[in-house]
Amino acid sequence: MKLGVFAVLFGDRSLDEALDIIVEKGLDAVEIGTGGYPGNAHCNPAELLENPTKLQAFKESFEKRNLEISALSCHGNPLHPQLEKANKHHREFENTVKLASELGVETVITFSGCPGESEHSENPVWVTAAWPDDHPEVLDWQWKQKVIPYWKKQNEFLQAYGVRVAIEPHPGFVVYNTETSLKLREECGDRIGVNFDPSHLFWQNMDPVVGIKELAKNDALFYFHAKDTAIDPQNTAINGVLDTKPYSDELHRSWIFRTIGYGNGEETWKRIISALQLVGYEGAISIEHEDSLMSVEEGFSKAADFLKELIIKERLGEMWWA
């Protein structure tokens, strides 16, 4: 396993400045945003694909620092019912796959997307209930008419370019847990797997260790994001975990994203790292920072130090059995 970071947290800096910070912290790999919701502050795939000189300079930025590009990320919603938004995210996905192929990067990360409830929708509709009957009918229509046809076609596209996609399970999209992740892979093809981010699973009451083992058993564990979640027991006791308040309203939310170790302690993360080791995961552990209670610099530094210590312990055989 290699320790890396999703470089969008340094989006206010140039690529060279961001990479220098990453190298100074002793990391091995970097994940680059190429569009979608993370944006493309450090990389414009369309521009690089059209300009071999710029593409070579981009490659050399990593090579001279001995950094691996672990993944390209364009988290978006290519199934958005507003065609303009869907087409934009789809184009960014296509260009990201093409760029990954040029760079020899195996993995592209995105979301599954979420359609509306019919051909006449203007906004995505995430189904979370089995009753009234309208809900499962909408869900059935979404998968059969939108999700499966789109991702079957993308599986063929990925095959042609020798790239795979790691879908990040995320509430608000049709793939949000282990079951829906494996359904997409089974229905659409084996170029489709999972970017495993425990932060989106903790508040759904899922056990990341169980999820890691189940996905690995089905050859679907493609990538790993290191991000934590803290659940507020009092707010959860009052309102449950389906919380739509802004992330900035930390005091009143049922849960918020945190830096590794500030939501779940060392014992939990020992089990997670051990599980990755047990299933033979050899990819990057990519730090993602969305902790509104810490600066980027503080959150990144603490996450890197925390994970480096755990990885060293794992290599020395000191971790807990998962």
CB 69 within 8 A of CB 62: yes
**Is the peptide bond preceding residue 132 cis, with omega within 30 degrees of 0?**
yes
DSSP annotation of 252 reads T
The pLDDT, as a whole number, for residue 319 is: 58
Residue-wise pLDDT tens digits, 242-274: 999 999 999 999 999 999 999 999 999 999 999
Taking the alpha carbons at both ends of the chain, their separation in whole angstroms is 17
* Buried/exposed 280-300: b ≥16 CB within 10 Å, e otherwise: ebebbbbbbbbbeebeeeebb
The ranges assigned to domains in the chain are 2-315
Residue-wise pLDDT tens digits, 46-77: 999 999 999 999 999 999 999 999 999 999 99
Mean pLDDT (the chain) is 96
Amino acid at 106: E
> Does the domain formed by 2-315 have CATH 3.20.20.150?
yes
DSSP annotation of 65 reads T
Task: Inform me whether the pLDDT recorded for 316 exceeds 60.
Answer: no
Backbone phi, psi, residue 18, to 5°: -65, -45
Q: Nearest to residue 282, comparing CAs of 219, 218, 223, 214? A: 223
- Distance, in Å, from the CA atom of 192 to the CA atom of 62, rounded to the nearest integer, reads 27
DSSP annotation of 241 reads S
Task: Inform me whether the pLDDT recorded for 277 exceeds 90.
Answer: yes
* pLDDT (average), residues 235-245: 97
- With vertex at residue 216, the alpha carbon angle to CA 160 and CA 212, rounded to the nearest 5 degrees, is 125
The pLDDT, as a whole number, for residue 322 is: 58
Instruction: Give percent above pLDDT 90 in the chain.
Output: 95
- Distance, in Å, from the CA atom of 293 to the CA atom of 242, rounded to the nearest integer, reads 21
Residue 91: burial class (beta carbons within 10 Å; 0-12, 13-18, 19+): middle
Residue-wise pLDDT tens digits, 85-139: 999 999 999 999 999 999 999 999 999 999 999 999 999 999 999 999 999 999 9
CA distances (Å), origin 317, targets 35, 273, 283, 310: 39, 12, 19, 10
Residue-wise pLDDT tens digits, 281-299: 999 999 999 999 999 999 9
The pLDDT, as a whole number, for residue 311 is: 84
Task: Inform me whether the pLDDT recorded for 318 exceeds 90.
Answer: no
